[in-house]
Amino acid sequence: MATIYDIAKACGLSPATVSKALSNASDVSAATRERVRRTAQELDYVPNAGARALSQSRTWSIGVLCQDTSQMGLWHYLFAQVIESFKDYVEQHGYDIVFISNKVGNLGLSYLGHCRYRRVDGIFIVNADHDAKDTKELMESNLPKIAIDFENENIGCVMTDPEESMRMIFSHLYKMGHRNIVYLHGQRGKFITEARISALEKAAATMGDKDVTFRLFPSNYYSIEGGYDSMKKLLSATPDDRPTAIISSDDYSAIGVIEAIRDAGLSVPQDISVVGFDGIEITQRTSPSLTTIRQDTRAIGEAAAKNILAQISGEENVPKTISLSPQLICGESCRDLNT
C-alpha cells in the first residue's frame, strides 16, 4: 500500500508538503495540490484513518443506534427512511456512519463503550430502550448526540409534533361524528407514548362534549400481530359498547387492527373507522387506504444530521428539541357518520 513517502518520492517533494497538499492546506499552491492528488490516485494511495483522526481530532464517523424490543429495527420503513436521509446529509459533509451495538466482537462493550472503541464523533439514537442502563449511560455521556421521539435534560430530539398530530386526528374523527373513540397505544412509560396520550386527552377535553367517550387500550408498536391481538381483545371486552373509531399507535398496528375487525365479521369503515400513524407509503395502496399522520422522514433525518454536525463543530452545546409539522392523510378507512 502506497504511503505519503512514496508520493513524495514520485513528486520530488517533501513528505510534509505532500501531507499539506492532501489536507488542502492553503500554503500549498493549487498546481502542487493537483499534482500530488493525481500521483496519489495513480499509486492507489488510501489515507490512514487513524492518523487522520489524530491530526484533526475527528474520525469523521457518526454512530447510529437503532435497537428495539419489537425486532423491527431497519425493517421498519420509518426508521430506514430516516437513517437514509441522515446518511445522505452527513456524507455530503464528509462523514460516514457506524451502526452501534453492545455485542461487537463479544467484547462486552456497552453502547458508549462501542462508541469509544470506534471513536465516533457523535451518536444518533434512532430507536432504543431509553430506560436501559446502556442507553442511559450513552445519553449521559459528553458525546454530541440527538434522538428521535425522546428528550430529557441530557439529550435533544427530533420529533413530529405529538400534540398537533393527535389534535388533527381527534378533530378529524370528531368532525365525522365519532364520539366513541379508542386509542390502541404502545408501551406505557415511553416518552412518545405518554406525549401522544396526553395530547389526545387534551384534544378530547377541548371539545367540551359530554357525549365523547375516549378510552385507552394497550397494544404493541410496529406489530401487525400485536394490533390484531389487541383489537380482538377489545372487541371481546366491549360487545355492548363497541367503539366507532380506533386510533392505532402506528400504521403496522393499524393493518392488524383492520384484519381483526374483518375476521370478527365487521367492516372498515362501515362498522369501525381506523386511523394509523407514520404515513407508510404502502398503506395508501391497501383497501381501504389508511387515514394516517405522515411523518416526513427526510426532514427528520436532515434535522437530526444538521443538529449533530452543529454539536460536533461547537455551534450547538445544549440539548435542543426540533418539532416538525405533521400531515394528515385522509384515506378511505374512516366513515363520516354525519352522512
For residue range 136-158, list pLDDT tens digits in order.
999 999 999 999 999 999 999 99
Q: Is residue 333 part of a domain?
A: no
Bridge partner residues of 274 (DSSP): 246
Model confidence at 54, in pLDDT bands (50, 70, 90)?
A: very low
What was the pLDDT predicted at 243?
97
Residues 134 and 77 reside in one and the same domain:
yes
pTM: 0.82
CA distances (Å), 20 to each of 9, 134, 273, in order? Answer: 15, 41, 65
Neighbours of 304 (CB within 10 A): 28
pLDDT higher than 70, residue 105:
no
Same domain, 92 and 172: no
4-26 pLDDT, tens digit each: 888 888 889 887 788 888 777 77
For residue 124, the domain's CATH number is 3.40.50.2300
Q: Tell whether the model's pLDDT for residue 288 goes beyond 90.
A: yes
* Dist CA 113 CA 108 (whole Å): 9
In a domain, 69, yes or no: yes
Q: What is the mean pLDDT of the chain?
A: 90
- Domain hosting 254: range is 162-294
Residue 208 sits in the same domain as residue 285: yes
For residues 184 and 285, state if they share a domain: yes
276-to-284, 304, 333 alpha-carbon distances in Å: 11, 24, 9
* Structure-block grid coordinates of residue 15: 513528505
User: Looking at per-residue confidence, does 44 or 194 come out higher?
Assistant: 194
Domain count, the chain: 3
Instruction: Give the three cell numbers for residue 148.
Output: 428521535
pLDDT score, position 73: 58
| Residues 171 and 262 placed together within one structural domain of the fold | yes
Pair (230, 144) in one structural domain = no
- Quick check: 63 pLDDT over 90? yes
Tell me the pLDDT tens digit for each residue of 237-270.
988 899 999 999 999 999 999 999 999 999 999 9
pLDDT of residue 56: 52
Segment 153-183, tens digit of pLDDT: 999 999 999 999 999 999 999 999 999 999 9
Contact (Cβ atoms closer than 8 angstroms) between residue 320 and residue 156: yes
Q: Is the pLDDT of residue 68 over 70?
A: no
Same domain, 198 and 283: yes
Q: Is the pLDDT of residue 298 over 60?
A: yes
Does 314 fall in a domain? yes
Class of residue 100 by CB neighbours under 10 A (exposed 0-12, middle 13-18, buried 19+): buried
